[in-house]
């Protein structure tokens, strides 16, 4: 299943989803799907990738096990970020009205599909 269709299915399965991007460890977009300006999504993706790497490093020092995903909520949006293997990560943006638990379930399924495609 190509990455674009995985991202489209992810977006379609979560009411309130606004964007999703798969990026490599340097923050470069591999594939994306969104309902707003692609440039903005690429900037968000790169920024959340930096945060994910910082959090993953801190998390490993605590010996708490592998990081599955992060959720950052702001006044206007939710951001889900998670590693897809060691070299890629997925970022999803959501309206504040989105049900985060539903988004996490779909997000984790999409990460698993992407992992199978890559590795």
Q: Please report the sign of the dihedral spanned by the C-alpha atoms of residue 17, residue 53, residue 69, residue 88.
A: positive
Q: Give the tokens for residue 47.
A: 């920024």
Using alpha carbons, list the distances in angstroms from residue 108 to 70, 89, 100. Answer: 11, 12, 12
CATH for the stretch 3-118: 3.30.450.30
Res 50: pLDDT = 92
**pLDDT tens by residue, 28-82:** 999 999 999 999 999 999 999 999 888 888 877 887 777 889 999 999 999 999 9
Give mean pLDDT, residues 4-14: 97
Domain extent listing, the chain: 3-118
pTM of the predicted model, to two decimals?
A: 0.94
Instruction: Give the model's confidence band at 116: pLDDT under 50 very low, under 70 low, under 90 confident, else very high.
Output: very high
């Amino acid at each position: 299943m190509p990455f674009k269709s995985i991202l489209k299915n992810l977006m379609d399965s979560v009411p309130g989803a606004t964007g999703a991007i798969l990026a490599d460890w340097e923050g470069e977009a591999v594939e994306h799907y969104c309902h707003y300006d692609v440039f903005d999504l690429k900037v968000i993706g790169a920024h959340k990738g930096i945060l994910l790497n910082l959090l993953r490093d801190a998390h490993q020092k605590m010996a708490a096990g592998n990081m599955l995903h992060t959720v950052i909520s702001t006044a206007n949006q939710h951001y889900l970020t998670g590693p897809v293997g060691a070299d890629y990560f997925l970022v999803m943006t959501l309206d504040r009205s989105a049900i985060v638990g539903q988004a996490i379930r779909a997000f984790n399924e999409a990460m698993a599909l992407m992992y199978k495609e890559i590795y």
